[in-house]
Amino acid sequence: MPDDSGKRSNVYRLSGVGFEFGGAVIGFTLIGYWVGSHYEKQQAGVLIGAGLGIVGGGYNLIRQALAETKRAANEQKAHRDKDDPDSRNAP
């Protein structure tokens, strides 16, 4: 049976990024709701909070996606170099 633990960890890591995005949106929306209700501006608070959550969560999502892409490319290059030592000098 082939070892697919690396694939599983990637799936868990990437699904975690989605949960972090959702958590940021929900968390900031709730904070916006609380601040908006405190100042009697619930709609504005919710919209501002949701906007901040989307921006912050989106930034984190993009940052982690780029890091994962770079990690996968390095892993693929290391695997290719291990299989073909002559390809180390190739671009």
Question: What is the chain's mean pLDDT, rounded?
Answer: 85
Q: Are 16 and 64 in contact (CB under 8 A)?
A: no
Tens of pLDDT along 19-46?
A: 999 999 999 999 999 999 999 999 999 9
Distance (Å, rounded) from C-alpha 49 to C-alpha 74? 37
pTM exceeds 0.85, yes or no? no
Would you place residue 1 in the very low, low, confident or very high pLDDT band (cuts 50, 70, 90)?
Answer: very low
pLDDT category, 88, cuts 50, 70, 90? low
The Cα–Cα gap between 59 and 16 comes to: 15
Domain boundary assignment for the chain: 14-83
For residue 46, the tally of other CB atoms under 10 A from its CB is: 20
